[in-house]
Each structure stands twice: as structure tokens, then as C-alpha cells.
Amino acid sequence: MKKKMVAALLTVAMVGMMTAGCAGTSKKTAEGSTASADGASYTIGISQFAEHGSLDNCREGFLQGLADEGIEEGKNLTVEYKNAAADMGTAGQIANAFVSDKVDLMCGIATPSAQTCYNAAMDADIPVIFTAVTDPISAELADSEGAPVGEVTGTSDKLAVDAQLQMIREMLPEAKTLGIMYTTSEVNSVSAIKEYEAAVEQYGFTLVTSGISTTADVSLAADDLLSKVDCVTNLTDNTVVASLPTILEKANEKKIPVFGSEIEQVKIGCLAAEGLDYVALGEQTGKMAAQVLKGEKKASEMNFETITESELYYNSAVADLLGLEIDDTVAESAVQTFDSIEK
């Protein structure tokens, strides 16, 4: 790991040079940053696969987790943040740029970014910490025992499939067909579909799936899926979530409830979700990254971690919009209820 030992009198000058070198790029360098008490400062690269609420929350939590451990942007941390806009090619370019910049650590937010970061970093002696990866084993970031395959580890946002299905059944006791749209190239989505296929029957649902390749496929796929189902549930599929407003608009016209996989989806118009706290997930990841940066542990010495408890989020405004009467006991079990839809 690279550590920059900076003499106190040279700190401002060094930071000024780093800031000037970032002009015209997406690198975010903290002006006036200083080294930590032990003289160490760090540069990290954050690659986020798409821009949507849950991944933004992961990034916020990740930086907070680092700050909790004494590694704080504006003091002893320089952050290069780049967003791939749900494009695999761009994600690869971002990872390669981080290698060229010789960052101390890469953070990959979502499975495609985690994979491209690790592929780029494995021969460059740069550790990778990931978050919001549903199935690190299928993504080949961990072995069958959960151990790292190299200098890579992080946190999983594995879906609470049974809790979600039970919640949907309680809210929609008459529903028979459940739809899911997913990106066929996202290994986390393929893995989640298999879990749903294995579980739906015991909750009295027939599962209808619709695979897409890009955001351009979403509109037609949504029309087709909504013609076949009583309700829809989302995965943590980045391409689908990035196009969720389109899906919700079409579903609302047909009065078909859409369930989310986390709180941000409920805020913007999903009826409910048994989801994770993505800020907390990011914080957990940031604390793991701090151990690596400080040299307390190697990434290869830490198995990936998972938050196992889900919580119910509910939007009463969506229920009103769809003309649904939700059982009071179900609605009251929500840890957070929204009475409006964010635009």
C-alpha cells in the first residue's frame, strides 16, 4: 500500500499540486487536506456502476465508514469518483484509469463495477473493496466458502427473497402471477431469479420473468410483462432500477402494484419493499476498507460480509393511487411509511 509521508510545512503545497492536476477530470481532490496523525494520506478510486438512490446511499455510507475510522475526505483522503452510467465498457475504462493513477484502493459499487475493478487491479497490487454485490460467489469475487479469490472483499446486498414474497402475499392476498424484469448479463440478477423460482410456489405465485440487455429494451419489455402479471417485484438490478420511473408510469396506468427492493424505490413510487439500509451497508464496507488502508488486514484475509436483517418500507400514497386497501397490521409493521411520491 502506498503511504505518503508528508512534512507539515509541505502539506498545503502538495495538496495544491494534486488539485491542479485534476482540472478537467472527474477526480475529486480535497482542497487543504492534511495528513493524519501518523502522517499517512490515501487516494482511493470509487467506481459506481449507475446513478440511483441505493448506490448513492452506498457511496455516502462508504465515505462515512472511512471517516468513522479516521480516514476523511478533506483531511487525509483524496477521492476519485466516477460513474459508469450502467455501461460495462465505461466501467472497464474507469477501473483502468484508477490503475494508471496508482490509487491505494478501489471501491466497486455494484457487481459490474466490482468485477471490472478487480480484473484491472489484480496485477497492479491494488486492493479492491466492493459493495452492493448480491452474489459475490457467482460474480467470481469469492470462492464457494465466501473467502476472497485475491485482494478483493466487501459486502453483499443479498435480497431477502422469502421476506419479500411473504410481504407481497400479505398485501395482495388475491394475486396469482408475479413478474420480474432483469438484465441477463448481470450475474447478481440471474442468481436472484433462481432464488425466486425456487421460492414462489410456496407463497402461491406463478413467476413470469422478462430478460433485457440494455435500458433501450425496458419500455417494450415492461409493456409485455405488465400484460401477463398481477404484480411486479424488483431486484437490485442496476439497469432496471435506473429505468424504474418508466416501469412505474406504465404499471400505474394498468393499476398493477410494483414492489421495490430497498427504500429509495419505495420513495419514488413502489408500493413497498423488504429491503436493506444501503447507507449502513456502505458504512460497513468503509470500515473494512479502513482496515486495508491502515495495513491492519489484507483484503484477502477478510471474507465478504452480509447484512441479514431486512426491514419493511411502505408508501401509502401509492396504495391510494392504485386503489388498494392494505391490511392495517401489515402497513403498521413498516419501519418507515411515506405518504407522497418523490418526483
**What pLDDT, on the 0 to 100 scale, is given for residue 35?**
52
Vertex 90: Cα angle to 110 and 294 (nearest 5):
55
- Which CATH number applies to 161-275+310-338: 3.40.50.2300, 3.30.230.10, 3.60.20.40, 3.60.15.10? 3.40.50.2300
Give the pLDDT confidence of 144-186 residue by residue, as tens digits: 999 999 999 999 998 999 999 999 999 999 999 999 999 999 8
Q: How many angstroms separate the first and last alpha carbons of the chain?
A: 43
Per-residue pLDDT reduced to its tens digit, 56-72: 999 999 999 999 999 99
Q: 217-257: per-residue pLDDT in tens?
A: 999 999 999 999 999 999 989 899 989 999 999 999 999 99
Beta carbons of 285 and 131 less than 8 angstroms apart: yes
* CB neighbour burial string for 205-237, b if at least 16 within 10 angstroms, e if fewer: bebbebebeebebbeebbeebbeebbbbbbbbb
Largest CA distance in the chain: 71
Query: Looking at the chain, which residues constitute the CATH 3.40.50.2300 domain(s)?
Result: 8-157+278-306, 161-275+310-338
Q: Over the stretch 111-138, which tens digit does the pLDDT of each residue have?
A: 999 999 999 999 999 999 999 998 999 9
Task: With 0.85 as the threshold, say if the pTM is over it.
Answer: no
pLDDT of 124 reads 94
CATH architecture of 8-157+278-306: 3-Layer(aba) Sandwich (3.40)
